Structure 1
Amino acid sequence: MYEFDHRFRYLIMEMTEQVEIAFRTHIAYHIAHSYGALGHLESVHFENPVYHEAFLVELNKEVRRSHEIFIKHHFEKYEGKIPIWVAVEVLSFGALSKLFSNLKNEDKNDIAKNNYRVPAIYLESWLKCLSYVRNICAHLKN
């Protein structure tokens, strides 16, 4: 059972990682092309300003915690202005899922239909589920 559990969790982690990488690309591409490199910082592009503020707090926490060279580069060269394609790299999958959920409906629909050929409501649900399952697998001890 131990060996099965270990292999099963590894398989799930591997599959969710592929989805996560693709989704990071799709959401960053959409936001950058629709609203500009810093469009994710403006609450006007999102449904709920309170959720957007929580997103910004989470983003700032992850940016400050990061030791990635690309984050240091943006602080040194661009006064700490982190474009969306950099921001998505330091966010958790859960934070990305929440970011997607708070996008305006037309943006969610565009991402879902153009990249996954499903209604946005399906993609939103799938992302929440995958984030939950991935976190269980990542933090479960044998």
Structure 2
Amino acid sequence: MMQGYPKPWHSYQQQLALLQSRGMAVSDPPKALDYLERIGYYRLSGYWFAFRERTEMCCPLDPQSKKLSKSKPTRLPLDTFKPGTTFQNAVDLYVFDKKLRLLTLDALERVEIALRVDISHVLGKHEKFAYLRPELFHESFSVSLDSKTGLTRHHSWLGKHASLISRSNEDFIRHNKEKYGLPLAVWVACEVWDFGTLSTLYSGMTESDQDAISQAYGISNGRTFASWLRSLNYLRNVCAHHSRLWNRNIVDQPKLPPPEQTPALKAFHDDPHKRARPFMLLCMTQHLMKVINPTSSWGRRLQALLEDGFPNLTHLDLELDRMGVDPDWKNRDW
């Protein structure tokens, strides 16, 4: 027998009534019902979660042992909302987050395309089918075996690569298969690699090849740049899957170069909270964009969105610092 899920199904009207019973003001019920039907209670709950009242500082119980948890004391969320919470507050925050995700994807698309060129150009200089040659990669990628699968990371990557080639319906892939057969030259194959595939392959390149690419972006250490690509791939996945971004906790944080290499990231070196929020990743993206397209208006569009698009939620003690902005963010070189 499956374990019972304790929460019952609710109609849209019941969902709205539940929110109102917990202290959320709804000025236009028909419009609120429309949002619940089109966006969904569960998705919107990620935005009104920050509006919920909290307990005093306490140590929660471990759900397994029923003893005090070893985690740091925290304020647990209650079901009730802070005074002044409205349904429209949640919708406004959702709309801001949607615009932020779309703007972020716009930049990451350009970063991804530039990386395809960078990686395929450096590898292609060695050999046109370089991605198949384990000896052209770092031993940790091409020799060391995973204890669970018995495969190298290169073997696993090749499986992903083969799947992308097989699934592709692009005319240029079909043309190259028919005219030249397989394998495809690296500068052709790279056009079907997604951000994750690029990030993984870069992480397996030799240090000299990594450095050749990272230095073009003003970062001397290619291993540091590999951590950037891993974090930006995470950022891309959050945006592509329509997940909440604005105040997300970034667990796998990238390494930071010395401040003199990336002055735009200086504010994050000594602030763990800011390093764990998405604004730092957006500043990293802007650093790359200024190399890829120095005349791009992306940074200014981001600045405008933060200044004009973030809803007024001061009555709920919510401001842009929740996404990790530094005090001088408006004066950055956008």
Q: TM-score normalised to the size of structure 2?
A: 0.41
Query: Aligned partners of 1:83 and 1:55: how far apart in 2?
Result: 16
- Pick aligned residue for 2:136 from 45, 61, 64: 45
CA RMSD of aligned residues (A): 1.3
Aligned partners of 1:39 and 1:84 also within 8 Å? yes
The Cα of 1:124 is off from its aligned counterpart by 0.6
The Cα of 1:41 is off from its aligned counterpart by 0.9
- Pick aligned residue for 2:192 from 81, 90, 98: 90
The Cα of 1:141 is off from its aligned counterpart by 5.6
Aligned partners of 1:74 and 1:81 also within 8 Å? no
Aligned pair 1:75/2:177, yes or no? yes
Deviation sequence 1:11-38 (CA, Å, 0-9, x none): 11111111111111111111111x1211
Larger RCO (CA under 8 A, 6+ residues apart): 1
Q: Which structure's residues are more often helix, by fraction?
A: 1
Aligned pair 1:32/2:156, yes or no? no
Question: 1:107 is matched by which residue type in structure 2?
Answer: D
Q: TM-score normalised to the size of structure 1?
A: 0.93
Query: Aligned partners of 2:137 and 2:210: how far apart in 1?
Result: 10
Larger Rg: 2
Query: Aligned partners of 1:14 and 1:127: how far apart in 2?
Result: 16
Query: Aligned partners of 2:197 and 2:127: how far apart in 1?
Result: 20
- Pick aligned residue for 1:21 from 105, 113, 117: 113
Question: 2:162 is matched by which residue type in structure 1?
Answer: N
Query: Aligned partners of 1:92 and 1:112: how far apart in 2?
Result: 19
Match of 2:162 in 1: 60
Question: 1:105 is matched by which residue type in structure 2?
Answer: E
Q: What 5-or-longer segments of structure 2 have no aligned partner? A: 1-92, 143-151, 245-334
User: Runs in 1 of length 4+ with deviation above 6 angstroms?
Assistant: none
Aligned partners of 1:31 and 1:37 also within 8 Å? yes
Q: What 5-or-longer segments of structure 1 have no aligned partner? A: none
**Aligned residues with identical type, % of pairs:** 35
Aligned pair 1:131/2:233, yes or no? yes
Query: Aligned partners of 1:139 and 1:81: how far apart in 2?
Result: 31
